[in-house]
Amino acid sequence: MNESQLQTAVIDTAHLLGFLVAHFRPAETKKGWRTPVQADGKGFPDLVLVRPPRLLFVELKAKGKKPTPEQEDWLQCLRGVSDYMGQSGKRTAVEVYVWDPSDWQRGLIEEVLR
C-alpha cells in the first residue's frame, strides 16, 4: 500500500464513519508538484477530519518516511492545542496523528476513527 492508496482508504473509511474530510491536492507545475498555499501553509497536514466533537489532523507517510521539518512544525503546534485545557477544565477535541500503511494493516486507523 502506497501513500495515495492509504489516503483513499482513510478518506473512504472516515466518510463511512460520518466524518467530513478536507484534503488540499497538489498540482503539477513547470517546477514540479506544488500545493497552492499562502503564509505558513507549507507542511500543513494531509487531511483534516471533523465529526463533532472531534477534530483530527492527519499526516500520511509512505512506509519508512518521516515528516519534513515544516510538517513537524505544524504537528507540534497542533499537538500543543490538543494538550491545552481551557477555563472549562476540559481538553480540546483536537487529535494529531502521523499514519503509515502499517497503521492501516494493524487496524489502528479504523480504531481511532471509530
Residue 35 lies in a domain: no
Residue 51 lies in a domain: yes
Domain membership of residue 14 as a residue range: 3-21+42-113
Residue 37 lies in a domain: no
Residue 52 lies in a domain: yes
Answer yes or no: is pLDDT of 40 > 70: yes
Residue 69 lies in a domain: yes
Residue 26 lies in a domain: no
Tell me the pTM: 0.85
Residue 80 lies in a domain: yes
Q: The domain spanning residue 12 has which CATH number?
A: 3.40.1350.10
Q: Could you give the number of structural domains in the chain? A: 1
Which tens digit of pLDDT belongs to each residue from 59-82? Answer: 999 999 999 999 999 999 999 887
Predicted pLDDT of residue 95: 93
From edge to edge, which strands make up the β-sheet containing 54-60? 20-22, 47-51, 54-60, 94-99
C-alpha 33 chain-centroid distance: 19
